[in-house]
Amino acid sequence: MRHESFFQCIRRDWRACFERDPAARNRLEVLLCYPGFHAIFWHRLTHPLYRLGIPVLPRVMSQMTRFFTGIEIHPGAEIASGLFIDHGMGVVIGETAEIGRDCTLYQGVTLGGTSLQRGKRHPTLEDAVVCGAGAKIIGAIVIGARSKIAAGAVVVKSVGPDSTVVGVPGRVVMQDGKRIAEPIIPQVDMPDPEVEDIAALTARIDALEARIRSTEGKHGTSAL
């Protein structure tokens, strides 16, 4: 990840609000009303403190930012310039996450980890990645440059550049502008849960009717 000064990053973060949000009408509005920009600004301050090994203070500052913006960014996360967090409520960025230049995150995005071990355990987003609302990208995986993660997708494997990922678990449906052919499962091989449930109920009813007939037969015999 290329090195940029604090002011270079803030300048590019600022421009990203106007470039990627048509609702951004003037500078004062962005300055006062954009929690995504506020969260990134404060992360630019807390991250150097974290890198210097200053205890507690960076985490306290990040938690205060989370309280006011609804966006949780661990001070250890590496974030290049031009990140735009739209709305942002519920966004979580883990300690070892890395985000390239000009990425976009919508509300509810999680860059999370799956391991309890120290070391790299959060995702890396290369340049110009877009993550839709509610997308979950989990583990020490890499999302290639210019890829798009659909809203609600759960991605647990690395994907190459220029990919479009959808679904749970996430699967690549387009790459380099071309649709990816998905394997077709013959209809005859696909289980039908409704048919299975009906068959189980029918078998249960037959068993109960047999027990009733058996009970009635015993009562009739004893009465004679």
C-beta pairs of 85-91 under 8 Å, 24+ apart in sequence: 85/35, 85/36, 85/37, 85/39, 85/40, 86/20, 86/21, 86/36, 87/35, 87/36, 88/35, 88/36, 88/39, 89/35, 91/36, 91/39
Q: Within a 10 A sphere around the Cβ of 15, how many other Cβ atoms?
A: 14
pTM value is 0.74
Using one digit for the tens of pLDDT, what is the confidence trace for 65-123?
999 999 999 999 999 999 999 988 999 999 999 999 999 999 999 999 887 778 899 99
In this prediction, residue 2 has a pLDDT band, given cuts at 50, 70 and 90, of: low
Fold for the domain defined by 6-146: UDP N-Acetylglucosamine Acyltransferase; domain 1 (2.160.10)
For residue 161 the two structure tokens come to 């550049």
Using one digit for the tens of pLDDT, what is the confidence trace for 164-196?
999 888 889 888 878 876 655 455 555 667 777
185 vs 202: CA distance, rounded Å: 28
